[in-house]
Chain A
Amino acid sequence: MKSINGIQFADMVQMGAHHLFQNADYVDALNVFPVPDGDTGTNMNLSMTSGAKETAAHTHEHIGKTAQALSKGLLMGARGNSGVILSQLFRGFGKSIEQLDVLNAKQFADALNYGVETAYKAVMKPVEGTILTVAKDSARKAVEVSEDVDDIRELMEAIVAEAKKSLDRTPDLLPVLKEVGVVDSGGQGLVFVYEGFLASLKGEALPSKTIGSSMDDLVSAEHHMNVQGFMDTADIEFGFCTEFMVRFEEGKKSFDETAFRNDLSEYGDSLLVISDNEIAKIHIHSETPGEVLTYGQQYGDLIKIKIENMRQQHTEIVGEGYSSQATTKKAEVHPYAIVTVAMGTGVSELLKSLGASAVIEGGQTMNPSTEDIVKAVEAVGAERVLILPNNKNIVMAAEQAAEILGIEAAVVPTKTIPQGMAAILAFNPQATVEENKNNMTEAYAHVKTGQVTFAVRDTSIDGVEIKKDDFMALAEGKIVLSTLL
């Protein structure tokens, strides 16, 4: 094939759009940059669909005019970063062949290259390792190959091959991709478009979804999302990352992907299923991997089984002792706990004897942080917790802790130790957290607190003259008397 006209080009565009459409979900899953919101595939697909629609409506024998239609459709329908870039690539492409009736290999390569130049002009600081890089690398290759090759089909093959190679290199250029272990989503979208072009030129059916590598990327992306969600090992609900393949067999249950997915989703989350006529590859996070495998066996032979304990992996990452975490914590769960703050062993023992589950060391001069409180509560391992700060400076930290704990928690804002003691006495293990909070708050409201301390310097507060080394009497936090005995 030495040249293509507008009608052939329009068919290429349709195939490209169709191929992208079929794989939009996959592209979505790869989306981690610039904002990991998982919409690249959707956006690119909408952009490309708009381009393809306009092309279909204005297909002309004259390739320049057809390309103009594509350019216009893409521009109007551009969505998302990758969509806008795609529209620029084909705007430049269309601009450079505006006057041409038909396109030969050399002109095709130059047009692609011009598209890349146009696209790069519209950005101040291009980020490499994205769709821009994939477009650039493949266009350069096209120009190089077109020196010797005048068959457009052959040229397009070289372009697709280079685009794929360039896509594989994107993680080396953009650190966030490497971190997550995926290739760039926009770049992948462009590869799908080019693959569609090639399929059209060859007059072949579209390449089917490849089970192997694409599954790995999906799994990485899925794990990435999960890792972000888990702060603590104990939060992992489904502990085993289970991957396996089923080779379908005659006489076994016949495979229906939707039903298969629905059944499997009962066993856990992060479910991924990719299948063709012979095998299905499955990835799932489950607490009962054995049952998942048994289920899979109903359809045929199991091959390539891999099960990993994610709790262990997670604790290794977080760097905390595994055994102490998951096992002992679950062994003794207190339904209800009171966590409070006090300074000194004596007071601490006193509070514990009244029913406090844990006493955090701290007070006026040493306020425990939110983190200290969270840790103390977690160490107790209760389902519901009441936090008594016993100091007005700790109330805020306690409230923050209650918010991030993820279990039922309430703060009874006690400001002194005697208030805390009165509050604990009003605790009722049968009542709800809210009822307890109200009862306990009411109970300490009647408590009057007196404190005795000594002065470290001369001053005058609230009309009371204070001299260094004086003994001071405080009632409800206010100095009422200062004298030397």
Chain B
Amino acid sequence: MSIELKNEFGLIDISQDTVAQIVGGAAIECYGIVGMASKHQIRDGLTDILRKENFTKGVLVRQEKEDLHIDMYIIVSYGTKISEIAYQVQSKVKYTLNKSLGMSVKSVNVYVQGVRVANV
């Protein structure tokens, strides 16, 4: 499935992968995020922190009628205020999608899948 936008010239079709890549790219620039996690942790391996090529596994893009919903699975750094980081991710993702694709997102749901303890 992909995201479709219509205007008077025709159709714009943006693949879910594209959206997921943009969402992932925006997210890892956020402070406090150390990685994206797979939404199927058991199937894809528990400990995996996803690399850039696999962002799409950690980002789920859903289109319900006209509304766009993002579910994303992240791993954060130990010792940070996780609620605040999740909030920053939401606002950054919403802003980036709006800026780069002109899409407004109805919801950005952040699932914190893990905390990485750095060897401090």
Residues of A within 8 A of B (CB): 34-35, 37, 75-76, 78-81, 83-85, 87-88, 91-92, 95, 118, 121-125, 127, 132, 367, 369-370, 396-397, 400
Contact = CB atoms under 8 A, between A and B. Distances in A.
B95 A369 contact: no
A341 to B, nearest CB: 13
If over half of A's interface residues share one DSSP class (helix, strand or loop), that class is named, otherwise mixed; here it is: helix
A87 B80 contact: yes
B92 A34 contact: yes
Nearest to A400: B8
B8 A367 contact: yes
Nearest to A122: B77
B88 interface: yes
A123 B33 contact: yes
Contacts of B77: 88, 121-123
Size bin of chain B's contact surface:
20 to 34
B36 to A, nearest CB: 9
Interface string B58-76: 0000000000000000001
B107 interface: no
A397 B76 CA distance: 46
Contacts of B79: 75, 88, 91, 118, 122
B88 A84 contact: yes
B31 A85 contact: yes
B34 A84 contact: no
B24 to A, nearest CB: 10
B81 A34 contact: no
B33 A124 contact: yes
Contact of A87 (B28, B81, B118): B81
A34 B8 contact: no
Interface of B: 8-9, 28-35, 76-77, 79-81, 84-85, 88, 91-92, 95, 118, 120
Given A34-B30, A79-B84, A121 B118 contact: yes
A429 to B, nearest CB: 30
A78 B85 CA distance: 9
A124 B34 CA distance: 5
A84 B88 CA distance: 10
Contacts of A84: 31-32, 80-81, 84-85, 88
A75 to B, nearest CB: 6
Contacts of B81: 75-76, 78, 84, 87
Given A76-B81, A84-B31, A95 B95 contact: no
Contacts of A95: 120
B35 to A, nearest CB: 6
Interface centre among B9, B35, B85, B120 (most CB of A within 10 A): B120
Contacts of B33: 123-124
Contacts of A122: 31-32, 34, 76-77, 79-80, 118
B84 to A, nearest CB: 5
A376 B8 CA distance: 18
Contacts of B91: 35, 37
A35 B92 contact: yes
B29 A34 contact: yes
Contacts of A124: 28, 33-35
A272 to B, nearest CB: 26
Contact of A35 (B32, B95, B120): B95
Contact of B95 (A34, A76, A83): A34
Nearest to A369: B8
A255 to B, nearest CB: 40
